[in-house]
Amino acid sequence: MVSAARRIELVPAEETERRARRDCSKEPELWALLDAVTDPEIPVLSLWDLGVLQNIERVGHRILVTLTPTYSGCPALVTMQEDIRARFAEAGLTDVDIVQVLSPAWSSQWLSQAAREKLTAYGIAPPGDERCPHCGSSNTHRVAEFGSTACKAMWRCDDCLEPFDQFKAI
């Protein structure tokens, strides 16, 4: 097994660009404010961890936030937008526009290794991982294509007998 210190994380170009936008931003305090905004369906992941937060910039006196939903019909998107506005309002920033972009389409490959570890600790198998997040067994099977939300499938461990969601690979 490769140690975490020696693991090379392979990410799509779009994710590399997303990370560069944050790293090179002239507004690091705005990014830091939104680090506290979590996915309403998976509260252990921030919108950044999830990969839906694409950019934050100032345009004149306005703040422009760009989001890419996990899928175009995601019901959590409205709550995400409300939570972003509320977080900025707490900091006295009320002139906020939030736009959705669907291209490039969100991909589960945008989840960082840290996000995958947070999912597992929360009891959700990350995309592509069929091991039970409770006991680590790979003796599992899919029970249903849809789990607690449309972006997850329902699985069951045949060793510990626990059901669990698996975040779908998209």
Q: Do 69 and 91 reside in the same domain of the chain?
A: yes
| Res 140 pLDDT > 70 | yes
pTM of the model: 0.87
Q: Do 45 and 128 reside in the same domain of the chain?
A: no
30/139 Cα distance (integer angstroms): 44
Phi-psi region of 35 (alpha: psi -120 to 50; beta: other; left: phi over 0): alpha
Q: How many of the other CB atoms lie within 10 Å of CB of 130?
A: 15
Q: Do 17 and 99 reside in the same domain of the chain?
A: yes
DSSP letter assigned to residue 150 = T
Domain range for 19 is 11-109
Question: Over the stretch 141-156, which tens digit does the pLDDT of each residue have?
Answer: 999 999 888 889 999 9
Q: Do 37 and 99 reside in the same domain of the chain?
A: yes
Q: Do 153 and 98 reside in the same domain of the chain?
A: no
Q: Is residue 116 part of a domain?
A: no
Q: Do 67 and 32 reside in the same domain of the chain?
A: yes
Alpha helices in the chain (DSSP H): 13-23, 28-34, 47-50, 77-90, 113-122
Question: Over the stretch 97-134, which tens digit does the pLDDT of each residue have?
Answer: 999 999 999 999 999 889 999 999 999 999 999 999 99
Instruction: Provide the mean pLDDT of the chain.
Output: 92
Q: Is residue 21 part of a domain?
A: yes
Q: pLDDT value at position 149?
A: 85
Residue 26 dihedral angles phi and psi, to the nearest 5°: -85, 0
Which one has a higher pLDDT value, 5 or 15?
Answer: 15
Instruction: Report the domain count for the chain.
Output: 2
Q: Do 97 and 137 reside in the same domain of the chain?
A: no
Q: Do 38 and 91 reside in the same domain of the chain?
A: yes
> Which tokens in the block code for residue 163?
């059901």
Q: Do 87 and 155 reside in the same domain of the chain?
A: no
Residue whose tokens read 């002139």: 95
Q: Do 105 and 133 reside in the same domain of the chain?
A: no
Residue whose tokens read 């910039």: 57
Q: Residue 104: is the preceding peptide bond cis (ω within 30°)? A: yes
β-pairing, 53-59 vs 62-67, is antiparallel
